[in-house]
Amino acid sequence: MTILTFFIEPSGALCGQSRVPGDKSISHRAIMFGALADGITTITGFLDGEDCLATLNAFRAMGVVIAGPDQGRVTIHGVGLHGLQAPAGPLDLGNSGTSMRLMSGILAGQAFDSVLTGDASLTRRPMRRITEPLTLMRAQIATGEQGTAPLQIHGGQRLIGIDYPLPVASAQIKSGLLLAGLYAEGMTRITEPAPTRDHTERLLAGFGYLLRRDSERTVAISGGGHLTATPLDVPADISSAAFFLVGASIAPGSDLVLEHVGINPTRTGVIDILRLMGADIEILNPRLAGGEPVADLRVRHAPLHGIRIPEALVPLAIDEFPALFIAAACAEGVTVLTGAAELRVKESDRIQVMAEGLNALQIAAGATADGIVIQGGTLAGGTVNSHGDHRIAMSFAMAGLRASGPIRILDCANVNTSFPGFADLARDAGLKLQEQA
């Protein structure tokens, strides 16, 4: 793995117009649905990052013919729900938890055995939360002793539908079970404790598969149908836009427009939270792209204040909290987050790593069991270890807009998993960022 350090000098404002890469969650799912559909699916706006390429290469390894990506365009020759072939060896999913949890559901319904593995970070992440409900569906999946990858999936099982209340709000678990439900006898019904991103449900409908919504938080699917290929336009990723939303909010003189950003209501928690803190964010030209709501977002500097973040918004901003913690560090007063224990089992323990990084920059931040307490103040320069977590690295890069001295961020190579080209785009907008190998 390449060793990469970000070095950020105190910067000015973020200005102009930018388009961040395609939505990672949708890009993953687009590959999966296109591969399992009947017919040819053409994707535009695909995120050409390492995580999504891991999904794409896994399906190539199972006999799916995929052309691209070429400037965000991918063409998939679908093989149907039962057309995948046994891979020659383990499927290496790199750093991608989304790939592993969703593909567990798909592979549980195949006729062949398979093994899912990944890098050192992924093989530490909890997988029993998906393997246990799949076992209730009569899948046979073996994990490591700690409930982690590699996952050994024994094919040829006759899956049955289940009625499953999710113990934690997780779009990945919900999606993995819905995908297994495509192969199950009877109905699979999933109830969430709180709403999570609904890209899987939207894509199922877009590919012509009947889905039933029994209530706001309960979705049901019956096996035995088929998916029909359809063209897809992937919007820009709001999780990637979040770094720039925060950066422009905290940096005096900023006026930045982010183009064609997905504003799916299950993903806009970051906008809602920033607005509660006083951010100036306008939603311009709202429209639909491939069944997903998109818009241009204009963000200008505004003085922020600390808040107690509503727990109802936590699942709608779960990936954006590292960036939001930087906003809290620059806000007047105290920001309190609770109900976010899920952050401790991401690519890193994002609560602890962010608290340590903020402390290194002279911001008072204390980790709690399920959240953090941040006292806004003046960011100093210093050295931060991202622990290989792409969102940690990009968040602290934006802190350079307000820091009194240079910030050095260690272990940044994994930024390419979700946001290839981040450094160039950030520099174009006004961030004084150098990459040091």
User: Which run of H or E residues covers position 213?
Assistant: strand 212-215
Asked if residue 420 lies in contact with residue 412, where contact means CB atoms within 8 angstroms, the answer is no
Q: Which residues contact 67 (CB under 8 A, 6 or more apart)?
A: 74, 75
Give SS3 for 307: coil
Is 132 exposed, middle or buried, given 0-12, 13-18 or 19+ CB atoms closer than 10 A? Answer: middle
* Cα 62 from Cα 263, distance rounded (Å): 33
Helix (H) or strand (E) holding 248: helix 238-250
Greatest pairwise CA separation for the chain in angstroms: 61
Q: How many CA atoms lie within 13 A of 340 on its CB side?
A: 31
Query: Which is the catalytic residue, given 48, 233, 319, 389?
Result: 319
319 catalytic residue (yes or no): yes
Beta bridge partners of 384: 409
Cβ 390 vs Cβ 411: under 8 Å: no
If residue 329 lies in a helix (H) or strand (E), which one and from where to where?
helix 321-329
Distance CA 336, CA 70 (A): 43
Distance CA 201, CA 245 (A): 27
SS3 content of the chain, % helix, strand, coil (to 5): 35, 30, 40
**How far is Cα 13 from Cα 138, in angstroms, rounded to an integer?**
55
Active-site residue set: 319
